[in-house]
């Protein structure tokens, strides 16, 4: 394997072909108005050129199928192959979104039942599957909150968000035309009732709360927080991105939360990132159901139908039914695991995070003393005295064959290293990761320059990350 791979256009040679199609076919030519005036600029390469090029590219990449990916915050975990097989069933893969309802009863039944499952798991009453990702689910939830308050006579102006929230939360609120008021968490990283009480008034539409938080901590005052908000006529939005830590253990709806979004990739093992697309269903209490996006899937005389007659709905938020194949994968996973299996997911996710915490706390600084749930946040405080930063530790992990965790987030933790192992990793894998982290901690003391120049084994060394963000080169210049 070459250390880097040229672009497919750089492999192009005039006249080289990788296909053999008949010169004429049985179809009529398209109208001349639809034909290109100039030939498309496509690379001229052979079939072996194409196969080897993309195979090499795949081997240059970190992926959950090749490496431990302890990302944190927006986790990557194993995608069970049974999910992939079911998503490729012809009845699902070949269905067309414009087919009449009566010809896609199986697909509608799957979505209807998935909505029931997600409602049961969250303690809510109704679910929409349309949102295309977790952040899109947040925006859908915020628009639902706005519609509800508007029906009551006043959409209100403000949403409260603790400083331990996901970064997408304030952005979703701003897109929903709300002003955001940040709330400070206490020294233990939790949101206290007195803080919410101080800021809660008749202009506050909702409290947006990630639970467990990005610090991996459960908001132990959640019931009291919800009561304070409800007393003033507000709603509680639960960011459900970290639901994998509490599956089968507690339900946000039972704690007083009014609506949440799921991140199917994180909780129910659908592909994520470059392997996406995503899916962010929103679950709500009964009083918010009229505002969910249309169409809603309902049962009528033993048939599943799409109901568009929802006058108070916020309308569509996605074409057709959302990212359907992700829904098939999540449905398959939930059926495969069952209630007891989902409980074990939470137990193992928490156990694995705390195993890493206990194994590494002698080598890395822990900003919070309480035990973690699904993820643990360290800092570079112990390494700073040698000039080594969180960024250097993350780069050095690449040399050891591990994808770095999320760094410098949450923003309230200086030099944060947020590590989330998930429930799908074995003890042996966790031990290998801990060995690498411990070796890096020792290197920071004995030979810090080794870290300052890392990575040493990747095709590209330390990049100018600011330049990479600001000067994008995303297409080939002819």
Q: What is the pLDDT of residues 200-210, one digit of tens each?
A: 999 999 999 99
Lowest mean pLDDT: which of 72-76, 197-201, 331-335?
A: 72-76
As a whole number of angstroms, the distance between CA 366 and CA 345 comes to: 25
- According to the model, what pLDDT value does residue 1 have? 43
Among 14, 70, 103, smallest CA distance to 393 is for: 70
Output the pTM of the full model. 0.91
DSSP for 454-476, written as a single string: --SSSSS-S--HHHHHHS---S-
Query: Under a CB-based contact definition with an 8 Å cutoff, are residues 202 and 233 in contact?
Result: yes
The residue among 345 and 461 whose pLDDT is bigger is 345
* 259-262 and 204-210 strand pairing: unpaired
Q: What is the crossing angle of helices 390-399 and 427-446, to 10°?
A: 120
- According to the model, what pLDDT value does residue 26 have? 61
What average pLDDT is seen over the chain? 93
Bridge partner list, 261: 239, 282
Q: What is the pLDDT of residues 364-412, one digit of tens each?
A: 999 998 888 999 999 999 999 999 999 999 999 999 999 999 999 999 9
Q: What is the pLDDT of residues 93-102, one digit of tens each?
A: 999 989 999 9
- According to the model, what pLDDT value does residue 240 have? 94
As a whole number of angstroms, the distance between CA 289 and CA 144 comes to: 9
Residue 74 binned pLDDT confidence (cut-offs 50, 70, 90): confident
In Å, how far are 178, 331, 457 from 335, measured between CA atoms? 38, 6, 42
In Å, how far are 21, 25, 33, 41, 274 from 29, measured between CA atoms? 15, 9, 11, 21, 36
Query: Under a CB-based contact definition with an 8 Å cutoff, are residues 8 and 50 in contact?
Result: yes
Q: What is the pLDDT of residues 257-296, one digit of tens each?
A: 999 999 998 899 998 866 568 899 999 999 999 999 999 9
Q: What is the crossing angle of helices 427-446 and 324-360, to 10°?
A: 50
Q: Which value, to the nearest 10 degrees, does the dihedral of the CA atoms of residues 151, 155, 156, 161 take?
A: 110
- According to the model, what pLDDT value does residue 273 have? 66
Question: 88: how many CB neighbours lie within 10 A of its CB?
Answer: 12
Cis peptide before 295 (omega within 30 of 0): yes
């Amino acid at each position: 394997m070459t250390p880097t791979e040229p672009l497919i256009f750089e492999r192009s040679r005039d006249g080289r072909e990788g296909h053999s199609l008949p010169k004429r076919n049985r179809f009529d030519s398209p109208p001349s108005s639809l034909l290109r005036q100039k030939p498309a600029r496509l690379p001229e390469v052979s079939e072996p050129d194409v196969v080897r090029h993309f195979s090499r590219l795949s081997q240059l990449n970190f992926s959950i199928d090749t490496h431990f990916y302890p990302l944190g915050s927006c986790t990557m975990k194993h995608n069970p192959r049974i999910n992939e097989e079911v998503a490729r069933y012809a009845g699902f893969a070949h269905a067309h979104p414009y087919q009449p309802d009566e010809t896609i009863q199986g697909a509608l039944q799957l979505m209807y039942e998935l909505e029931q499952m997600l409602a049961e798991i969250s303690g809510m009453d109704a679910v929409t599957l349309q949102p295309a990702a977790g952040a899109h689910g947040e925006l859908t939830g915020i628009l639902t909150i706005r519609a509800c308050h508007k029906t009551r006579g006043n959409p209100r102006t403000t949403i409260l968000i603790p400083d331990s929230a996901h970064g997408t939360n304030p952005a979703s609120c701003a897109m929903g035309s709300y002003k955001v008021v940040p709330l400070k968490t206490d020294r233990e990283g939790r949101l206290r009732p007195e803080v919410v009480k101080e800021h809660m008034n008749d202009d506050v539409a909702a409290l947006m709360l990630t639970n467990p938080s990005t610090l991996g901590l459960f908001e132990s005052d959640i019931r009291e927080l919800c009561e304070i908000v409800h007393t003033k006529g507000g709603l509680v939005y639960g960011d459900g991105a970290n639901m994998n830590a509490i599956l089968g253990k507690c339900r946000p709806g039972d704690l007083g939360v009014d609506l949440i979004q799921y991140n199917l990739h994180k909780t129910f093992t659908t592909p994520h990132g470059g392997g996406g697309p995503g899916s962010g269903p929103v679950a709500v209490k009964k009083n918010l159901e009229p505002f969910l996006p249309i169409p809603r899937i309902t049962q009528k005389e033993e048939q599943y139908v799409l109901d568009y007659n929802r006058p108070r709905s916020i309308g569509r938020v996605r074409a057709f039914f959302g990212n359907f194949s992700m829904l098939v994968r999540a449905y398959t996973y939930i059926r495969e695991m069952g209630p007891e299996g989902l409980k074990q997911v939470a137990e193992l996710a928490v156990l694995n995070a705390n195993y890493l915490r206990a194994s590494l706390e002698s080598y890395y600084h822990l900003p919070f003393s309480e035990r973690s749930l699904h993820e643990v946040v360290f800092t570079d405080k112990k390494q700073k005295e040698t000039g080594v930063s969180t960024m250097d530790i993350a780069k050095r992990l690449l040399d050891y064959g591990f994808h770095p965790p999320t760094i410098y987030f949450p923003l309230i933790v200086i030099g944060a290293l947020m590590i989330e192992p998930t429930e799908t990793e074995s003890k042996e894998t966790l031990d290998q990761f801990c060995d690498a982290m411990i070796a890096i901690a020792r290197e920071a003391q004995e030979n810090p320059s080794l870290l300052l120049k890392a990575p040493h084994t990747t095709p590209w060394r330390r990049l100018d990350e600011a330049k990479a963000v600001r000067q994008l080169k995303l297409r080939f210049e002819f």
